[in-house]
Amino acid sequence: MSTAPTASGHRTPDRRAPRSTASLRHRLAERGVDSSLWLMVPALVFALALFVYPFSYGIGLTFQPSLAAQERWGGGVLANYVAFFRDPFVFDSVWITMRLALPAALFNVIASIPVALVLRRRFRGKRLMTSVLVLPITLGTVLTAQGLLIFAGRQGWLNRFLMAAGLVDEPLQLVNNYVGVMLSLIITGFPFAFLLVSSYLSGIDPSLESAARTLGAGWWQRFRRITMPLLAPGLATTFILTFVLAFSVFPSARLVGDAMGSTRVMSLMAFRAFGEQNDYPMASTIALMMGVVELAVVALVLAWRALLYKGSTGGKG
């Protein structure tokens, strides 16, 4: 231990702690800091550059309304929000979007259950059928909408066949309306729901159903008391993902829907404000409200799931 001189000339022991000879990595490890965390820096920079900054900038734009919006709706910096709630042409797009997204998501989840149950078993042609069911994922929404126009349009194959067979007197209106967008959402959303439900089903132990069958339980009893309770949390997650996918519909609503009428969804309203009116703050406001509505629905579904089921999910997804 070294000594240090004092004012009187006497030397006192130096009480400073000895300098550690351990490397920086070991000293950080002693404090619970792993050097491998530096590998997260590129991901954090990526998230900040492509999500946090644009999102923050968009929120800031919502509080910068144009002079025309302030004069028409008032509200000062909140003029865009006042316009959103008071303009029926814009505000009604919330219910129009919900009227499309909720039924489409619900149908895709319900329809995927029996299909996934059938394809859970082994049989010849299973891989081919699975490939056909997930094929729309590779097509995309634009190509799917184009296919609907060719197949179900007024001059499409379906209408020409029905009229040639004498089954209808005039073409059926299956596109450029609510039905066309709903068909597009079902075609593009069903493969995602099917894959997710299949993933959860694959994680349910088949021995549970075998034991119930041995005890005399029928198919419906096994499904209602074993498969469905274990599958329910996965169905809630599947509904959330398919709902968000359907709620953000844009190409289908524009190509096979009535863009400014019965299918003027929120994404079209945001595009209208951005591309046609050059009102970036209002477009940001509509986009932000889209996120708020989606989060509200997601929160309700997660709350329902937590209320009814507190165990772990049955699947691998």
Q: What is the pLDDT of residues 49-99, one digit of tens each?
A: 888 888 888 899 999 998 888 888 888 899 999 999 999 999 999 999 999
Helix (H) or strand (E) holding 13: strand 11-13
What would the pLDDT profile of 214-269 be if each residue is shown by its tens digit? Answer: 888 888 888 888 888 888 889 999 999 999 999 998 888 888 988 888 899 999 99
Identify the pLDDT of residue 1. 52
The encoded tokens of residue 233 equal 């949390």
Note the pLDDT of residue 40: 82
Contact predicate 79/70, CB 8 Å: yes
* pLDDT (0 to 100) of residue 236: 92
* Rounded percentage of the chain residues whose pLDDT exceeds 90: 36
Q: Copy the structure tokens of residue 288.
A: 């932000």
d(CA 90, CA 135): 35
Give the pLDDT band of residue 22 (cuts 50, 70, 90): low
pLDDT tops 70 at residue 172:
yes
Contacts of residue 28, defined as CB under 8 A and 6 or more positions apart, other chains included, come to 34, 35
Average pLDDT, the chain: 85
- Residues 281-309 pLDDT 10s: 999 999 999 999 999 999 999 998 887 76
Which one-letter DSSP state was computed for residue 20?
P
Is pLDDT of 7 > 80?
no
Residue ranges and CATH numbers for the domains of the chain are 90-264+301-308 (1.10.3720.10)
Q: Is the pLDDT of residue 155 over 90?
A: no
pLDDT score, position 54: 85
pLDDT interval class at 13 (50, 70, 90): low
Query: Is the pTM above the cut of 0.85?
Result: no
309 contacts: CB under 8 Å, gap ≥ 6: 229, 232, 233
Per mean pLDDT, which range of 11-15, 72-76, 141-145, 210-214 is the poorest? Answer: 11-15
In this predicted model, what pLDDT tens digit does every residue of 103-136 receive, in sequence order? 999 999 999 999 998 888 888 888 888 888 888 8
